[in-house]
Amino acid sequence: MAMVRESKISQVAGLKKILKRCRSLGRRQDDMDVPKGHFVVYVGENRSRFIVPISYLNHPEFQSLLHCAEEEFDFGYDIGLTIPCEEITFLSLTSTLR
């Protein structure tokens, strides 16, 4: 039971770290259209821009994508949070999260 609680606590801490880094990217002119409670991700080779609700952070599938992004880019990529997967895969995944 304690292991499960520790796992959840570390998972929440990791998500807070991700959100903090997303916010620290700064607000560029093209980010002004992002509604409250959402954030921008860039996906695929062409780095297509998507606005996604923060609630996606609660889904293990989306968390998995974020962990891949952290491993590949360490959230230091200049244009913002970039998800390293094909656009069609991202669209398929997010369509199931709604």
The neighbouring-strand residues paired with 40 are 51
- Residue 24: per-residue pLDDT: 46
pLDDT number for residue 55: 92
Q: What is the mean pLDDT of each run of 10 residues along the chain (98 residues)?
A: 59 63 50 84 90 92 85 65 89 88
Query: Helix %, strand %, coil % for the chain, to 5?
Result: 55, 15, 30
Type of residue at 47: R
Whole-model pTM? 0.65
Domain residue extents for the chain: 2-97
At 54 the pLDDT is 92
